[in-house]
Every structure is written in C-alpha cells, then in structure tokens.
Structure 1
C-alpha cells in the first residue's frame, strides 16, 4: 500500500466552515461570562464523585424502566443532542464510550435549561448528575437533575456521524481523530498496553530499567545521521541520541547484569511508512548472555505481549520462529551464497549475473536492494536471519571459529525488520579496530555519493570513553534492540508508522 500523501500546508481542518459558527460560539461564551458563570471552573462537586460510562453501563445493565435509587455523576464531551421544546436528549462521551442523557426543564430548573438549550454546544465538556432509567426504546439513559459547564468548546467538531476520515487531518489534528474515531482511541490504548507488557515481562525476567543520556557529545551505537544541537552554557555542540547502546554496555561494566531502556531515539533521516525521525526503541543487555539467549528473549517478549493484548496477528506467531543464515537466504532467493562476500566495488558486476534491475544503483546500495527486494518479501512468518558479514556489524562478536561472520540476528515478520541482536563484542582492542574499519567503509561510501563528509558521516564515531570502559572489563553479553513502533504496527495490524504515533512528524 502506498503511503498517504501529506501536504505541506498546515491548515486548520475547519478552514472551509462558515466563520460565523466560531463567532457564534464565542458570543455564547461571552453571554455565559456576563451571567457571572465561569465556563472553565477549577472545581465542581461532581468531579470527585464521577464514574465512567463503562462503570455506569456495567452497574445498571439490568435496570428496567424505573429510575435507579442512587444518583450518578458523569463528566464528558457532548457530541450529539436533540432538542424538543422543554426537553432534550444528548450524548456524553468519555474515554470509554457514550451515554445518553435526558435534560428536562422542570427537573433542572428553567434558568439552567435555558442556559443548556441556548448556550451549550456540541463539543462542550459537561458535568451531569441524575438517576439512571431506560427509555421506551430500551436505551440506558441518565435523567439529569444538575448540569454544569466544565469547558466551553470554541471550534466545531468534525461531522458527528462519520467522524474525521481524512488521513492527513487525523495525523495533524490527532485530538480530533481521538474524539471522532473510537477505533483510534482503542489503537493507542493498545499501544500503551504493549509497552506496559514489554516492561512487565522484562521486570519478571530480572531486568533493571535504566535511563541514559538523550543529549550526547558523540552520536554512537548505530549508523544514522544525528540531529545537532548546541549547549550555550558549555559552549559545545551536542547530538540527540541515535541509540542508547554504548551507555547501556557501560552499565554492564559497572556491575549491572540485566538492564534495559525503553525510550525515544532520534535520526535525521527520511520519513515513510516505516520511518519517523523520532521513534521508540527497546534495548536490553544481559551479562553472560549471547545471541542465542537474546533470540529466546525476543521470541518470549513478542509472543507473550501478543497474548497479553489479544493481538489480531497472534495466530501468525508460530513458535519456534524460523531461522536461516543470510547465506542460505541468498542461495535460495538470489541464486548464490557468494553474494554476501562480494567486495563493495564488485557488487554491480555480481548483480548483473542475476538481474539487470540494479544497473543504475550505486555499488554500496546493491546489497540492501538485493535483500529488501529479493529476500525480505519472503520472510512473512517470524524469521531470524543470522550470520551477517562481520564488516556490517562492528559492535558484534564473530561466530566462534570465524573472523568473517558476526554472531548476530535480525528478526523479520511480514517482510519487515522488527529486532536486531548479537553477542556483544567486549574485546576493547578488536572493538577499536572494527569501528575504525567500519568508519573507513562509510567514508568511502560518502566519497561515492560525492557529498560533504560532515553531512554523511552517519553516526560512525570512535567513542574513546566507550573503549576505555571496555578496557575496565565487560563480561560477555547479549544485546537486543526492538523497534517498538514497528512491533505495535504488527500487533495492531497497521500498515504505517504514522498510524501508531499519536503525533507523527509532518512537514509544516
């Protein structure tokens, strides 16, 4: 599916509405104030006693047409109303759903009813009190005896029956999307439960949650172009982190044995259905672990979380997950295991043996294109891909007995990468050499792109503080990174990262 087209104009969603609608609302606000009524009160007695629509429906699900004995206190947004002279029906919406209220002049009083009928609008946030009953049609309703305005809405809501359906407006005005579309509220509630599940499972596994710097003097731990900022008091350039990895490993050096961090990272790169400049990542590190222990942990986290949130894709998570080496996949889908060993300058020559699709692609991009176009689409079921070239994995140990294969995996589901893990390299001398070698590789790519190296030196830095930390001694360890937003996409059945971010990055 193609990504939704996002315009560059940050225009109000209601720009085409009659401006008198907003003016009328503002005039009603002034009228309310002129009567010495606060349209935004700080306190109301009902607030302390309020219950949700969910609680009300559960408590009074068996009530017949007679009124309940006890009063009910409800707060929420008025989203529908129907006036009938001296009585009105309206619907109040809170986070859990909607409930019909019945407002009658002789029950609330003539001044209060006049205020409600003439000066309260759809979108206003109200506090209501009364007793429950069922209408002749059987709808559970609240017979209102007291009604208080808690917040006056000065802009009209989206069309009340069909909600906000324009995908761009949903992204730009998520608050309106949440008001209008119950499925959006459900989605973000599920996202919160997924994150809660990941944390709870790691706590049960004995992991300690830690917090590492988001503003860093060096942007290391991944390969990405960072966002730059400047600290005026220190007169120093800093970067928003692209990964928490190096600091988490320093925690292992300090004696923690199981640590994780779940938070935002920032990468100054493109935007598409899988990428947003700021996104949520889970990284976990286990002293005395390795790639295999991380593989087991990854499977447990994903499967148990899918169960905990009743994911619609739970049936796709057949265990144990499949596992193939990168060489096996190239042999099967490209035609040669030799592909993973071809030197960068010979990629084009190699690829021409199998396809003419890559004639116009720079050499260094062909490996990624071969994998993403020839292999990844076949990785529909959860699949661990192992044994990447060590040159591609400067922070990973090599497979025992090899100097060319990294003890690393990437997890793919439905053709997309969700997780990455490896046996962490803890030899400080080898680590320094591997980072320097990888840095040279990236610099050669920069020259190929004929761009300024300051712009393209994407996070390949030699952090001497990290090397010095390794020199103190870090135990053998396994490390794991999970793209939380992509995991949420999979578990909720969404096809764009924008759908699972409350406020995705958009061009203004």
Structure 2
C-alpha cells in the first residue's frame, strides 16, 4: 500500500480538510498566461524604474511547483519553479484575503502545484518577484519532496523515479531538453539532404541486422515466435532495392545483453542507406553532422568528456584496421596477421582466446583489447576483416577486407558504416558462414535470411549505409559517464518486492 508514512497521512488529511472547505485539491480547466521566463522578460523593465516603487501595473497568472515556503506571521515568502525557471512569490493576509491566507498558511505545502495571479515587483532586498493577489491550488502533493539541500542522493532512486529526479534537479530537465534538440537536429540534418524517414517492423521473423542476442516474444494469433528489432538494416536495404535511394530510420532497438555504463537493453539508434554513394562520402557526411550538432548546441570545437578533451577542430583521422592494431595497439604486424601468434599473445596477456575463432575474429580481439580505449579524438577505423563484416561489401583489391569503417571517440565506438554488400550469392555464402560461426560458439552471429538474399536478387544499386547509437552520442555531447543519465527510464534490476 502506498501513502502510508506519517507525512503522507498528514497530507492526505489536509487534502480532505480542503475538500471540507469546498476546495478541490485537483481542479481542472485552469489556465496560465505565460511561463515564469516570459513573465520575467515581459516585466524586466521594472528594474529600471526610478524610486522605491519598482512594480508593474498589470496582473497576470503564472504557475509552478512550490519549492520553498517561509511564513512570517501575516505574510509569506515562497518560491515556485516551472519547466525552465523559478521565481519568488510574496503574498500576505492583505493581498490574498484573510480566508485564503489562513487556508493556505496551513494547507499549502512544498511540492504542491499552484497558479499565482499578481504583478511583478522588486523587493526591498532587490529580488525580482511576483506580488500575489490570488493563489489557486492546482494539484496537491501527497508525497513530500526530499530535503532541499541534499536532494535525491540515492543514484538508483534517481533512475527509478525519474519524475522526482526532474523535480529536484532542473539540470536533469535541461539535459533531456538538449537530448530532444540533438534528436531533432539529426532528423532535420538528413531531411535537408533529401533523405526520407521511414518506419520498419519492431518485431522480426528472423533476428538480423547486427551481431547481438535478441529478445524473443510470441505472436499468439500466428503461433510463431518473433524477435524484437536488433537493428533495422535488412529492412531498410530492402527499401533501397525497391527504389528508395536515400532512407533513414531513428527508432528503438533491443538487445538481450548485459547492462553497464554504455549499454541498455533498449536503446535509440539511427541508420541510413544512401544509394550511389560510398563509405568515403559517408565519412565526410559524418564529420558534417558533428559540426552541425556542435553548432546547434553552442559547443566549442574542443569538448570535455569523462576527463578527456575531445578535439573536433581537425579532420577526423582515418586509420586502416590492421595498421591501428600495429601502430596504436603496439602489436607487431607479424603477430597481427597470424592466427596462432594472436592466440599466443592473447593467452600471454591473460585475455580470453578461443582457438575456434577465425583470423578476423581474433584480430577483433586484438583491436578490442589493445586499440579501442586509445582512440580519444574522432577516428575512423577503416577496412575491417571480412569475416566480422557479414553485410559489408568485399574489397576489390583484397577479398579478405570489408569496405567498412567504425567511428571511435573517447575510446568508444559510436558509428558503424560500410559499402553495402549487394551480391546476392556472396551474401548467401556469408550468412552460411555466420551459421558456422554460431555453431563454433558465437551466439551473436547472424541468422540466415533467405528473403533478404531474394531481395538482393532483384538488384540493389551501389549503396553505402551507416548506423549510430544516439544514446552514446548524447552522452558524449553532454559529458555524461552513464547511459542511464541520458535515457529517461533506463532498465533497472527489479526491487525485491517486484520479483
């Protein structure tokens, strides 16, 4: 049962007392004239009035949540906060009337949502305030807010009760407003360049589009299992086959994996596919997107993230995959190109080494363990091993290399892109190889998707594609260490009473 502690019981009694006075603690059809920020801007001129009477003649109605209340006999100073701003309220027995003053002196509490009608004035101490002539209780708070000066200190509770986190910390609301701006900027960026936004299924008959463990659900009417979207890739490329030459989707994806500072089981991604373009042009477009985002957020060219300074002022570095292992990871080329020597090196340095993996997957182990965390400034790692790139076009110059890049910033992968494989026979063979990889222990390998191969059989033009994790991008731009700080309602371990 909720609302059982002493303070909540007291507040429930006050709500009942208001009802007995003919006051509905939860009225509707209430209107405000403007926000607190608009109020401050409209009446800012009173600061320049000569003399002691610095006040406006016009009365308006504003609203907010009561955050502070200090009663001094027949007058009260309070503070209320709306979505973006806060203001001091002054009211007295004389200004709102004895009946309302007596009623609200006892029953109006911190946490309540109120409407205040009054005029702007400057107090004797020089604070811009609203002098109230009328106060209306818009919604009674039954649960008391945490103590003001300590706020919501339990990090787990901040994520579980995001609404309370937002009430107590206006910066949290600001961060999510910035996230919304980032998302809308990305969308406009692609629309302005002729991309068409589309929606593809959230439930797939085959788990595909990325190497990941899927969530499985069941469709009762069809009596079939379905997989929540790992990635929209294969559906988006079907649209390119169908004649849509520039498409993108920004939507939720789901991966049944662990949670940590950079992983949440449901997350937001954006993917686009661009016919008649190549992965070099996609790199250029990616740099252009970051420049646009920094400008829109009024961020400098050098930003801080997790104690690291990230320099966006120069062209992003472009480094070959094997060269990165050698030159950045410090692994000799002789080791980096030999399966047995890689296994020996990994074992020597106490890393897991699965001798069933092929050379490409073992090179990925080298990259993950020796290179990734050293890529601080924006860096495109290009030309990956073909065996770890089952949907990427094979290089004409080297059949063991995929025409693919990943973008790394602050030691983390942020985007993945490649020239798309459009040879249906090659794609079918790659899917078969993925089945072999799954049988060898890679439980994240792709499933066979014959319908997708059939789609390629109708011919897909030369196409480049790209995917980016929006949550990690927001983390970077807002300097947040945990993905939970940029997802409104992140996944959490159940409380004991939720099991």
Is the TM-score greater than 0.5?
Answer: yes
Residue 447 of structure 2 corresponds to residue 461 of structure 1: yes
Identify which range, 313-322 or 481-490, moves more after superposition.
313-322
Residue number in structure 1 paired with 2:480 = 494
Residue number in structure 1 paired with 2:151 = 163
List per-residue Cα deviations over 1:409-440 (Å, max 9, x = no partner): 00000110000000000111111101111221
List per-residue Cα deviations over 1:304-344 (Å, max 9, x = no partner): 1122112366452133100100111111223223455444x
Residue 61 of structure 2 corresponds to residue 73 of structure 1: yes
Residue number in structure 1 paired with 2:247 = 259
Residue number in structure 2 paired with 1:147 = 135
User: Counterparts of 1:214-229 in structure 2 under 5 Å?
Assistant: 214-229=202-217
Contact 1:265–1:281 (Cα < 8 Å) also in 2: yes
Structure 2: stretches of 5+ with no match in the other structure: 48-52, 304-310, 495-499
Distance 2:301 2:108 in 1: 44
Contact 1:221–1:459 (Cα < 8 Å) also in 2: no
Distance 1:340 1:36 in 2: 80
Distance 1:103 1:246 in 2: 63
Distance 2:252 2:334 in 1: 38
Structure 1 residue 366: Cα displacement: 5.6
Identify which range, 165-174 or 128-137, moves more after superposition.
165-174
Partner of 2:46: helix, strand, or coil?
A: coil
Pick from 24, 46, 49: which aligns with 1:63?
A: 46
Contact 1:221–1:245 (Cα < 8 Å) also in 2: yes
Residue number in structure 2 paired with 1:400 = 396
So what's the TM-score if we normalise by structure 1?
0.90
Residue number in structure 1 paired with 2:33 = 50
Structure 1 residue 349: Cα displacement: 2.5
Pick from 418, 436, 440: which aligns with 1:440?
A: 436
So what's the TM-score if we normalise by structure 2?
0.92
List per-residue Cα deviations over 1:132-188 (Å, max 9, x = no partner): 100011111111111111111000101112322332221111111111112211111
Distance 2:200 2:333 in 1: 40
Pick from 362, 367, 376: which aligns with 2:354?
A: 362
Structure 1 pair 242/424, CA: closer, same or farther in 2 (3 Å)? same
Structure 1 residue 35: Cα displacement: 2.1
Residue number in structure 2 paired with 1:178 = 166
Alignment RMSD (CA, Å): 2.0
Residue 180 of structure 2 corresponds to residue 192 of structure 1: yes
Contact 1:262–1:282 (Cα < 8 Å) also in 2: yes
Identify which range, 405-414 or 96-105, moves more after superposition.
96-105
Residue number in structure 2 paired with 1:304 = 292
Residue 27 of structure 2 corresponds to residue 32 of structure 1: no
Contact 2:66–2:109 (Cα < 8 Å) also in 1: yes
Pick from 234, 252, 269: which aligns with 1:281?
A: 269
Structure 1: stretches of 5+ with no match in the other structure: 1-10, 447-455
Distance 2:409 2:194 in 1: 27
Pick from 308, 316, 324: which aligns with 1:321?
A: 316
Structure 1 residue 368: Cα displacement: 4.3
List per-residue Cα deviations over 1:372-407 (Å, max 9, x = no partner): 331112211100001111011010001222210000
Distance 1:356 1:225 in 2: 28
Contact 1:312–1:491 (Cα < 8 Å) also in 2: no
Distance 1:494 1:313 in 2: 18
List per-residue Cα deviations over 1:201-225 (Å, max 9, x = no partner): 1111111110111111111111111
Structure 1 pair 339/232, CA: closer, same or farther in 2 (3 Å)? farther
Identify which range, 249-258 or 415-424, moves more after superposition.
249-258
Distance 1:305 1:427 in 2: 36
Identify which range, 245-254 or 182-191, moves more after superposition.
182-191
User: Counterparts of 1:405-424 in structure 2 under 5 Å?
Assistant: 405-424=401-420
Residue number in structure 2 paired with 1:107 = 95
Contact 2:36–2:86 (Cα < 8 Å) also in 1: yes
Contact 2:336–2:342 (Cα < 8 Å) also in 1: no
Structure 1 pair 183/261, CA: closer, same or farther in 2 (3 Å)? same
Residue number in structure 1 paired with 2:466 = 480
Residue number in structure 1 paired with 2:308 = none
List per-residue Cα deviations over 1:263-299 (Å, max 9, x = no partner): 1100000000010000010101101111112111111
Pick from 134, 142, 166: which aligns with 2:122?
A: 134
Residue number in structure 2 paired with 1:450 = none
Contact 1:303–1:314 (Cα < 8 Å) also in 2: no
Contact 1:341–1:389 (Cα < 8 Å) also in 2: no
List per-residue Cα deviations over 1:48-83 (Å, max 9, x = no partner): x42111112222223144321211211110010100
Distance 2:261 2:97 in 1: 54
